[in-house]
Copies of this chain bind each other. A is one copy, B any other.
Amino acid sequence: MFKKVLVAEDLDSISIAVVQVLEDLQVPVIDHVKYCDEALLKIKKALLEKEPYDLLISDLSFKSDHRKAILSSGDELIEAVNKVQPTIKKIVFSIEDKSYRIKSLFNDLGISAYVSKGRNSIAELKNAIVSTYNNEEKIVSSDLSFSFNDKALIEIESYDISILKLLSQGYILESISKEFKDLSITPNGTSSIEKRINKLKIYFKANNNVHLIAIAKDFGLV
C-alpha cells in the first residue's frame, strides 16, 4: 500500500472520513492540509527531504477566507504539483459531477481516479485508492456514467470558456474583442467572436446570450 499520502480538503467534516479510510488501509504516514498553498509547500518540502509523497488526494473547490491564497482550487494545485513532482499519483475527491470538468482532469492534469462525493463515496474512495496503487488508470466512481469517447464536451475549448467568462462578467462583444487583442488571443475580430458565440448557442440550444450564460453556469463552465 502507499507509504505517504497527503490529503488536501478544506471541510473538516469530510477530511475526518478521508483520513479514516487511509488509516483503515494501513497507510503509515497520513498528512492533511486545509489550504492548497499549504499542500504544495508540504509536497516540495517532502521532495527536498527525499521522502516524497506517493499519493495526493485533493478536493477541487476550496472556500476562500481571510488568508490570501495563491492557489485557490484543486485544479491549480495539481497543475503546480505536476511541475515539481509529475510522478505523484493523484486522486480527486469532489462533489463536481460535470463531465467536461472531470474529463479535463484526466486529460490535462493526469489524475488516476475521480471519486464524486455522494451517498456511498467512502467505499468508492477506498476502491479508487487500491486500484490506483495497482496502477490502474482513469477510474471514475460508479455513479458517474459518462463516456470518455463522448466528443461533444471535449470540443468546447478554452477559447470558448474565455468568451463565456468575459460575457458572464458583463463584457460586450466589442470589449471582448479588445480584451482578446490585448491578450493576443486569436481570433479576436468581433465577427469571429460573434460567430463562436453563435455556435455555442446552437450547441447549448440557447435562445440568446442571457440564456447561454445561465446554461454555462449550470454546466460549471464558468
Contact = CB atoms under 8 A, between A and B. Distances in A.
Interface string A95-125: 1000000000000000000000111111001
A14 interface: yes
Contacts of A40: none
Interface string A148-185: 00000000000000000001111110000000000000
Contact of A12 (B17, B65, B168, B170): B17
Total copies of the chain: 2
A143 interface: yes
Interface residues of A, number: 39
A47 interface: no
Contacts of A63: 118-119
A139 interface: no
Interface of A: 10-14, 16-18, 20, 34, 63, 65, 93, 95, 117-122, 125, 143, 167-172, 206-211, 213-214, 217-218, 222
Given A14-B14, A65-B119, A170-B214, 9 more contacts: A12-B121, A16-B16, A34-B119, A63-B119, A167-B214, A168-B211, A169-B214, A170-B206, A213-B214
